[in-house]
Structure 1
Amino acid sequence: MKLPDIGPDPLPPSMWARSVSRYEPHGLDVLEAHVVAHRMNASKWTKSSALQKIWAFLVGFVPWLASIGGFAALLGDDRAIRLGRMTPRDAGDIPFASVCYAIAALGVVVLLVDWVREGRKRTPGLRLTMTIVFVFGALGIPVAYTLAAREGVDMGLMMLPAYVMMGLAILLFILVQMSPLPEMKVQEIALEDLDEKTVKRLLMLRSRAIDTLVQRGLINSDAVDIKALKARPLGRLHIEDDT
């Protein structure tokens, strides 16, 4: 059974599983198509060194984690505040949030450089990261001004890093969006030519995506043997004869 066409710009399996709407096609064949489409990245990952993997993690996760951290510093945790585990949020949290936003801005710059170095590909995950960075900056700025106004504190340039971060996020989002689509004529590695480590990684990514779909109720675990589903060979998730 042929896998469906998911276009030249597919999301990674786990990201697709988290974001796909129940009103969009989300069958096993669509999931397998996303897994198979990810094989070049998986092959590159398995062949990279430990230092390269650490760098990829930092480049990919630091910007949005730092932007969320900046917003969290301003918003606080109401439950922890009620339990006395942390002090109520005030203007004193603004400098820490500013540092987080500055780290996120630096992370976006590194992402930009890395994106150019990697060939300026239209990467869905990169656009999603920039959206997250922008949203948590936009959410944090009014909270910071509210805290400052409540205590009569002069904001000065304390939230400048947030504005810089958001501007850089918009710039990188636009650049990625305007970049050319991947060329379909590029020859991908055939499934049977993938090495064992790459196959194991793809199956691991597929299993995580299946778990996400089960948690979201898009796969009925009462009607499907999830363990047998995960055990199906790569490329044949949607073919029942291989259970």
Structure 2
Amino acid sequence: MAESFFYDVFLSHSTQDTAAAREIAQKLRADGLRVALATELANHEQTEDALERSRVLVLCMSAHTFGREWPRLEAGTFRFRDPPNAERRFIPLRLDDALVEGSLAQFLSVDWREPAREAEYEKLLEACKPPRTEPTPEQQEARARLAHKVLSLGHMAPVQSVAYSPDGKFALSGSDDNTVRLWDLDDARCLRVLEGHAARVLSVAWSLAGNLAFSAALNGVMRVWDIG
């Protein structure tokens, strides 16, 4: 199940804390994490899909959190606070001195207030990183083949993400040119250019079966591609 999480972390926040949440998202992305930011998602359906595909939920808490928006924000936390669901994690993050709602007091929180912020960020980053897994023999073989090749990815802008297929024969690349490319690693050639995003592609991933590709863009849109 862990491999099916498209996002490492979902950042949930009050609409009045958007600036602070965006700053946190930018820092986590700069350190290589795949982040879904609530304010970048266009509607409820996209939000629910991103929550379902996220391993960690970070709830940015402030005086604004526990007002009118609290029922909506709380509803998004339940699947991450379920003790039997060990693959998910819930992390409250304190933006100010507001009292924490009673049911959340049991959770160890990240202190985003000064002067603790810098040290606390390192804890947040480690908590949000995906578990380390050993590559499969097929993926190890693919990486060994690539070590002896120089592969030009052909994009017109910087490449943000590369992902190997489960069998190690193909790769996906996502770029700032708003496209995703499918590669044959044996022949070092591009098989398809997947177009449709209207913003930079930040992350790409494969389904476990290897027949679907997923891509997420800066504008919060995630696309599913049938690779066949």
TM-score normalised according to structure 2 size: 0.29
Bigger relative contact order (CA 8 A; separation at least 6) = 1
Q: Which entry has the higher C-alpha Rg, 1 or 2? A: 1
- TM-score, normalised to structure 1, is 0.28
